[in-house]
Amino acid sequence: MHANIFRGVGVALVTPFTASRSIDYLALEKLINHVIDGGVDFLVSLGTTGETPTLSTDEKIEILEFTKKINNKRLPLVCGIGGYNTLEVIESFAKYPLQDVDAILSVSPFYSKPSQEGIYQHFKALSEASPLPIIAYNVPGRTGVNMQPATIVRIANDCEKVIAIKDACGSVAQNMEVIKNAPSSFVVLSGDDDLVLPQIACGVQGVISVAANCFTKEFCQMTHIALAGMFDEARAIHFKMLDGINLLFADGNPSGVKYVLSKMNICENAFRLPIVGVNKNVEEKIDSYLKN
């Protein structure tokens, strides 16, 4: 399987909950069909946006099975399996129903704050054990450690199963260094919805997006025409969406995106602690943005 099936827009699906905090499968079905109809290129199940820290292993398996069923092989599917205990992540590979899954998204170890060598050894061990291609995920705002460009390039060269990175480091300079030095087959995906346009100009091949849950058509259109080199047209859409994207993250993720999805009657504005809904001030700003 070639890594370029992950070019374009992947969507980090939220996990809808009912008012009683159980998983709302009807809403999840509605969301999956909504993003597919909106033009996304691949689905990402069980990412951070899916509130995975509050889901049990059984629930995660159920969500993945359900997502596979509703997707029905229409789009490539990525499953999030990560953690700060390398051995436990490897053991998890065997627990998940990975038939009809195309890749694993695995975050660099969080909380334990390993050295760059530790991050490298983690992905090397995952690469040797994984049944599927791996998209590494660098999100220093959540993990406490940035995967340095030299580490990413080393992983890209040495770890056969690691075919791509989702980089949410917030630095176009870092993205450029990786693209310049990594093998040409290694795919760099954005993890920063507000930076996708300039990143594509530098060679990033797509994005795993939060905003694509709700601003699906516009976000996909912007990304696709930017990838086609039509930057003037893409820029117009980028600036139209920019305030909205910033508001999605103004009071935490997925609080903002679930509020917008609730306004679209796709899912309820419901969370499991410690995530809560956005504050009234952000609600008003989102309402005003959506109205305009």
Q: Which of 68, 137, 258, 259 is catalytic?
A: 137
- Residues of the chain above pLDDT 70, percent: 99
Do the Cβ atoms of 282 and 256 come closer than 8 Å?
Answer: yes
2 has pLDDT over 90: no
Whether the per-residue pLDDT at 31 is higher than 90: the answer is: yes
Please report, for residues 179, 180, 195, the alpha-carbon distance to residue 209 in angstroms, rounded to integers and kept in the order given: 20, 23, 11
pLDDT in tens, 44-75: 999 999 999 999 999 999 999 999 999 999 99
Alpha-carbon span 73 to 69, nearest angstrom: 8
Across 151-169, average pLDDT: 98
Active-site residue (options: 60, 68, 166, 258): 166
Whether 236 shows a pLDDT value over 80: the answer reads: yes
Mean pLDDT over 3-16 rounds to: 94
| Range 286-290 average pLDDT | 98
The DSSP code for 223 is: H
Can you tell me the distance from the alpha carbon of 231 to that of 1, in angstroms, rounded to the nearest whole number?
30
Mean pLDDT, rounded, of the chain: 97
Domains of the chain (ranges, CATH numbers): 7-230 (3.20.20.70)
CA angle, corner 251, sides to 249 and 253, nearest 5?
A: 50
pLDDT over threshold 90, residue 101: yes
- pLDDT, tens digit, 9 for 90 and up, residues 209-225: 999 999 999 999 999 99
**d(C-alpha 236, C-alpha 260), whole Å:** 22
Q: Which distant-in-sequence residues (6+ apart) come within 8 Å of 144 by Cβ? A: 110, 111, 113
Confidence class of residue 4 from pLDDT cuts 50, 70 and 90? confident
Which residues lie below 8 Å from residue 205, measured CB to CB, with a gap of 6+?
A: 4, 6, 7, 8, 187, 188, 189, 227
DSSP letters, 161-215, are: TEEEEEE-SS-HHHHHHHHHHS-TT-EEEE--GGGHHHHHHTT--EEEESGGGTS
Q: Side chain identity at 279, as an amino acid letter?
A: N
How do residues 247-278 score in pLDDT, each as one tens digit? 999 999 999 999 999 999 999 999 999 999 99
Work out the percent of the chain whose per-residue pLDDT is above 90.
99
Given a cut of 60, whether residue 159 has pLDDT beyond it is: yes
Q: How confident is the model at residue 206 (pLDDT cuts 50, 70, 90)?
A: very high
Whether the per-residue pLDDT at 242 is higher than 80: the answer is yes
Angle at 143 between CA 138 and CA 147, to 5 degrees: 40
What pLDDT, on a 0 to 100 scale, did the predictor assign at position 113? 97
Res. 3: pLDDT tops 70: no
Q: Are the C-beta atoms of 189 and 166 separated by less than 8 Å? A: yes
Active site (annotated) includes residue 137:
yes
pLDDT at 1 over 70: no
Query: What is the mean pLDDT of the segment spanning 24-30?
Result: 98
Whole-structure pTM value: 0.97
